[in-house]
Structure 1
Amino acid sequence: MTTTAVTPLTVHRAGPRFGAEITGVDLTAPVDEATAAALRQAFLDHKVLVFRGQHLTPDQHVAAVSLFAEPFDHPTAVKDPAHPLVYPYDVRHTGKASTWHIGGLWRDPVFAIESLTYEVVPELGGHTLWADLQAAYDDLSEPFKVLLESVSAVYDGNAENYAQGSRKTATGTITEHPVVLTHPDTGRKGLFISTSATRLTGVTPAEGKVLLDHLLRHASSPDYTIRFGWRPGDFVLWDNRATWHYAVDDYGDGARVYRKVIGVAPETGPLPERRS
């Protein structure tokens, strides 16, 4: 890994395009505004940040996400008894997320951030992949980029179908998102597509099928990916508007237990100063 010093924290780049591990920051303690600002800049620069061995409590997990975005009260997620903005997952009961996907596509705008604190992980395997959707967009031809500007993808818009244990009943509710997203914080364009897309608009059904298949394969190319393995206590957060992710299912019936906190863009203005 290439190492870049940023006082008082250090950013260890995970790859040439995106992703980083952060050291020198204890998220279980109050974070001063200068450090918080440096973390927010690192997040914009690297899109996926990993903090090893933090062992955050539910309250600390919410506070950590609050440095970057507004914690979101999910309407259908199972809540942790210790905090209503924390959502516990045990894949032996909730199932695995072994597809390339973006979180919160039932919502417009989607989640700005998703984050996990790992509690139990398999002895081997159970890694997570992320792909840089902005880099994937950059490598498309200019005529293809022009075409995609007028195309949207259709998703299930019923939040109930995204709840743990949902039978995903059809309700007719849909949400559309453009397949090219201009990031609201950086102005950088990127693909915005997920394997749960049912069809594309702005093109014929036959054209949409071909385009969707190509976009999904292109965005998941190893050329745009990074991979992280986990230990109990690790904390990760990622830009849900610039990346998509895939939880590798290579650990059989092994245990994988984690807590999730979601962040959305504040409704009014920039984030206020956080814990000092």
Structure 2
Amino acid sequence: MRLAFMGTPDFAVAALDALHAAGHEIVCVYTQPPRPANRGKSLTPTPVHSRAEQLGIEVRHPLKLRGQQAELAAFRALDLDVAVVAAYGLILPQEVLDAPKYGCLNIHASLLPRWRGAAPIHRAIEAGDAETGITIMQMDAGLDTGAMLLKRATPIGAKETTGQLHDRLAAMGAEMIVEALDKLPALTPEPQPEEGVTYASKIDKAEAKLDFTQPAAVLERKVRALNPFPGAYAELNGERIKVLAAEVVPAKAGAEPGTVIDERITIATADGALRPLVLQRAGKQALEAEALLRGFSIPSGARFG
């Protein structure tokens, strides 16, 4: 098929590669503009931009599409069979949705209608969902409200992080979008059910601080949900220490939430205790708890804020 690909982060690269390998004619890639990154704050292209250039595909990166008549005319002139969208980051105006012969198909990393929105992988882990998956959706003007074309579930591992699940879902989405295009136009769109709708709000760095007045099981899920970004953390004597992996263990009765209750940095919570397994001090490498304690004292009775 003759298509445009619209995506920005690493999640979308697998789908771009799969469509290219399947022999589809990708006439243009749309992505977010290069932005300052790294210590030098030099303008850095998105992962999709870099990969498209490696594949020899034209790249466009408009700041916005809505109301941009020249951009909309250029998109219509591509004469597309379909546009494939994966974590693009721009709202598509109706003129874009209507331009391709078969419309715009979105690779969404959840089992819609659960977790519409910006951070479905993080929120599924944080909520303790037993499974998640990929939905290939026919896009409409709403926020992830379009009819479903393909849907496939996968269990969430008991210790799985957002980074690990992200990579699995990216591969799954890549496989499924190729399957969807192979079956177009025979696929029958299925409207999303009205019940079970949840929204995955964008991750805010302010929510990364661990609150030990919450149950240990909730905190352990948050640690996994925010790994690798932005990383859950706790504060000890004014120092911010990231917690990259942890486990739930029994707590001593009456221990004040936030208090270290043994020599293994086990921290009391509202219900049970959280034992950090991998930690990272500011500006230093991540270490297993045992290795961290060889050069950094966190005695029993210390208090995390």
Same fold (TM over 0.5): no
TM-score grouping bracket, smaller chain normalisation: under 0.3
Structure number with bigger Rg: 2
Q: Which of 1 and 2 has higher RCO (CA within 8 Å, sep 6+)?
A: 1
